[in-house]
Amino acid sequence: MLDIDKLNDFTQNHGELRRGQGLVTGTIALSLAILCFLGVLAFHFPQYLTTPELRKSYNVDVMRYILLTALVIAGGLSLVNIIFNRSRWLSSAAFLLVAASALLGGHKVPVHDFADHTPYIGLDWFILDLLGSSLIFIFIEKLFALRKDQPVFREEWQTDFHHFVVNHMIVGFVLLATNLMVHKLFGWAANDGIRGWVGNLPFWAGLLLIILVADLVQYWTHRAYHEVPVLWRLHAVHHSVKSMDWMAGSRQHILELLITRTLVLAPIYVLGFSKEVIDAYIVVVGFQAVFNHCNVSVRLGPLRYLIVTPNFHHWHHSQDIEALDKNYAAHYAFLDYIFGTAVKSTKLWPEKYGVLGDYVPNGFFKQLKFPFVWKG
């Protein structure tokens, strides 16, 4: 029943999933089964597979309950599809992973004392972020859909999912690399007096300031990605997405991720914002990064001139001539109005997304090497 060739073809496919064939429920079952299997491994090897910062806030009993629930749903969906002969090749893979997870201990794997400060892969962050993001943002997209006929598993979703997986799995490396680069390149600029003043700002003042500082760097970095040809090679990968939704923002070349995070984190480190403010900023940037790519009809009236909304950022991804190289801000839309790069269209929404000329290939590995092989 397990057809490896079909599974390989499925993961490399870039078309949307049609309803009524068991592909949608099979994909959900397989995705949950994979997450369950990874979750069981994380319980077995927490020192290597979980993020140190997140371990401190875990309620293990809640994690076990989530794992058990996911195992039941994945097992149930896959079993129904197998019984009714709906994409058995897909659901069989899901059911085998559920069985393997159960044999490895399932939600009852004991957690003993383990060594700290070990090299790690952020497997837990990937699992929790995928579950949380999909549940929250798919619900929002269905509630406020811009393009109501766009399916959840739309065309090219596999490519974006591959980017999502890789960028989350290497979160430990990214954090380590960016922290090292920030300290090495910008440590000289840190001033105790300034850091003390900024660190003691009231919470809301500090939060508004950190977003402004980060977005000013983000704005000019983003603009450079568009205006400097060698940088555009990296950023073109992000712009190659043709359907906007919660997963679209994950399509980002790893080198761009490292460069941008290093440059944005530099002033945050140099200025010395408090831990509470930085934690709140991470929540804000995480939400906006996903929400502003969502397939939602949200403009927020006059507030759209102040903060970045999905409408504002959708225009940035547009192929419309009037929107090319516009709307660079990530948080504060007024920055584009100040610097003269805001889209001023009579239309409410763009018509088409993607790179003008459509020259970026599909597929994660093709996009990974694209900046180095493109002859444009």
Domain boundaries, the chain: 1-118, 171-373
Instruction: Tell me which residue has tokens 């507030």.
Output: 303
Q: What pLDDT is attached to residue 191?
A: 77
Q: Above 60 in pLDDT, residue 215?
A: yes
In 3D, which of 353, 324, 339 has the Cα closest to residue 249? 353
At 12, the pLDDT band (50, 70, 90 cuts) reads low
Is 310 within 8 Å of 294 (Cβ atoms)?
yes
Q: Above 70 in pLDDT, residue 13?
A: no
- pLDDT tens per residue, range 285-309: 999 999 999 999 988 888 999 999 9
Radius of gyration of the chain (CA): 22
Q: What is the pTM of this model?
A: 0.85
Find how far residue 55's CA is from the centre of its chain: 21
Mean of the per-residue pLDDT values for the chain? 89
Q: Above 90 in pLDDT, residue 200?
A: yes
For the segment 250-265, the average pLDDT, to the nearest whole number, is 92
3-state secondary structure of 1: coil
Q: What pLDDT is attached to residue 116?
A: 78
**Torsion sign over Cα 15, 19, 20, 26:** positive
Is 258 within 8 Å of 174 (Cβ atoms)?
yes
For the segment 40-51, the average pLDDT, to the nearest whole number, is 90
Provide, rounded to the nearest whole percent, the portion of the chain with pLDDT above 90: 61
Provide, rounded to the nearest whole percent, the portion of the chain with pLDDT above 70: 93
Taking the C-alpha atoms of residue 1 and residue 92, their distance in angstroms, rounded to an integer, is 6
Residue 133 has a CB neighbour count (10 Å cut-off) of 17
CA distances from 61 to 43, 106, 113, 114 (A): 12, 13, 16, 18
